Chains A and B, each alone.
Chain A
Amino acid sequence: MSELHYTGDCPIVVEGLSNAFGDHVIHEGLNLTVRRGEIIGVVGGSGTGKSVLMRSIIGLQAPVAGRIEVLGQTMHAGSYGGGEIDIRSRWGVLFQGGALFSTLTVAENVEVPLREFYPEISDELRHEIARFKVMLSGLPADAAAKYPSELSGGMRKRAGLARALALDPELLFLDEPTAGLDPIGAAAFDALTKELQDTLGLTVFLITHDLDTLHEICDRVAVIADKQVIAVGTIPELLALDHPWIQEYFNGPRGRAATEAQHRAKAIDKSNGQGA
């Protein structure tokens, strides 16, 4: 790898982060380190500040206290000028609702970051890039010319992903990517995320409530509770901890079902492997 990419081990480092809205404290002394090339799942009850954590990391939310380092650059909310290469050209963000620009077509949405950062790219190449990114995100080619209001919720998420991937980022932030998708669509989205991580060597910061996603693609899971990240690790590691919320989360009826599904899938893989 050369100087173009971040070569350290920890593309995201959060130290002593505190966030508050007025008197309402969201985070207090939160620490989190994300390793390069991993998919980290962030879980926590509703209102524990998962999205606020993401917004702090990407500089949309000014923290009360704490230090955030992304790809080796220290972040200051509202300013991105620190590094030699604009940090915003090195990450992609998928917001919960897709956050597509509603007056632009899907392809034009994908072209926005390209126009912004690389104006020297010719129209022809930019259109081609937009088209293949749209297809890479699992949308049919004819979706590229459509407006966001003409798409279903799942397609909007994929289009949002295409825009997030427009600049081949090193870091991908996904805020509940599978929420509101049907199980088939959600599984396909998981597979896509995994494939992109493998192919492009992405580091993925993934906020989710989807237990299947956690089991299926996350290398590690960070649990937010009591205004802090109380544990980070693989699911078996988390289960070994005796925290009541974690136990309830992964061992509740839904958690058990997801675990069983995972075991079944592994068993099938194994028997197939033996058969071959």
Chain B
Amino acid sequence: MTAHKMRDQADFTVQADDDGALTIALTGPLVVSSVGTLDPRLRQLEGPVRQIDLSGVREIDTTGAWTVWRLARDNAAQITGASEEAERLIAALRPLRGEGAIVPEELPLLTRVPAFVGNYMIALGRGTLGILEFMGGMLVAAWAITFGRSRLRVNAVVRQVELVGVTALPIVGLMSFLVGIVIAQQGAVQLQDLGFGEMTVNLVGRISLRELGILMTAIMVAGRSGSSFAAQIGTMKLTEEIDAMRTIGVSPMEALVIPRVLAAILVMPLLGFYSALLSIIGGAAISTLTLDIPFWTFITRVQEVVPTHDLWVGLIKGPVFGLIIALTGCYQGMQVKGNSEEVGHRTTVAVVQAIFAVIVLDAFFAVFFTEIGWG
């Protein structure tokens, strides 16, 4: 900020009377750019101020007038030599009262921490109830659509399938291909030591179809689409679009949530399968180069060593993960109120919760499928 260097600074001289009362003569421009350095010095003055002389002030604005008026008010001092402009500005400030705090009150640390923990626990309970309520609302809407009492918005579903699924193909594909390479390569290093180099095929094929394909896809979709659901719906809440929908008679559940959830449920198994395929191709490619297993031999071996139920494990988990991701995204979006910071916060929460829930459920599925003999 070069602004104030170019200017004359405001200054003052102090003269003490016999009884110790001060007369202050201010000089120079008394404006927002010059009072910054003057004000602390005025505050440090000791002794009562009886008179403030403004005859040396060349220019004044509201901030300058405030500085003078505050000093005069606190000391019950007289203002003399004020120009017409200064008089007018001080007169405008005179009626302004109010000493209240201008920043929200902050509780002491000892109160704040327990309060935070308590509020957090209450919010956790409310959140659980809230998401159950939301899911109930969604089921009611789905029920109404199934029995033809309200309409399924096919165009919206198709649009969401495009956004969640089709546009995700390049990034999901690339990621899966690379993960396939890493598993094959790292697995081969360990397995070759034991003399089971050809087991790399089993490793890549089974882990891709059963676990990694769908899990990596779920994480990617949560990051791409779960976040976008939360941010979009959240912004629509802030701009009152959701309220507008309700008053027009369009249920946001039906117009926004159902298409997104349905699209995610439809798309997830497809994306997961696609991801598994590409990671097998990645594994096959690296095996051709470093393990001397020809590409097509690798692919044929996969068919032999991977049981069909591995494919089903992946396909069954897909829609469940899709439901969780879309539901969390939409729910968090609907919870936005107040300000733009909330949109960011809710979006983060949506992604974190979705990924966490997906991983927890994946663990359950792993145990469950092994128990029923699909190990």
Contacts and interface: CB of A to CB of B under 8 A. Distances in A.
A182 interface: no
Interface SS, A side:
helix
Contacts of B61: 168, 200
B90 to A, nearest CB: 10
Interface stretch (A39-47, A144-152, A203-211, A221-229): A144-152
Interface string B29-41: 1011101110110
Interface residues of A, number: 47
Interface string A150-166: 00000000000000010
Nearest to B7: A4
Contacts of B339: 102-103, 147-149
Interface string B41-52: 001000000000
Interface in B1-51: 1-4, 6-7, 29, 31-33, 35-37, 39-40, 43
A255 to B, nearest CB: 31
Contacts of A119: 1
A200 B85 CA distance: 8
B104 interface: yes
A220 interface: no
B341 A125 contact: no
Interface string B313-342: 000000000000000000000000111110
Interface stretch (B91-99, B148-156, B269-277): B91-99
Contacts, number: 117
Given A145-B104, A167-B32, A168-B32, A120 B59 contact: no
A173 B100 CA distance: 30
Contacts of B98: 131, 135, 140-142
Contacts of B92: 136, 195, 199
Contacts of B29: 2, 4
A128 B70 contact: yes
A199 B101 CA distance: 27
A132 interface: yes
A86 interface: yes
Interface of B: 1-4, 6-7, 29, 31-33, 35-37, 39-40, 43, 58-59, 61-63, 66-67, 70, 85, 88-89, 92-93, 96-104, 337-341
5 contacts: A107-B102, A118-B36, A135-B96, A140-B98, A148-B339
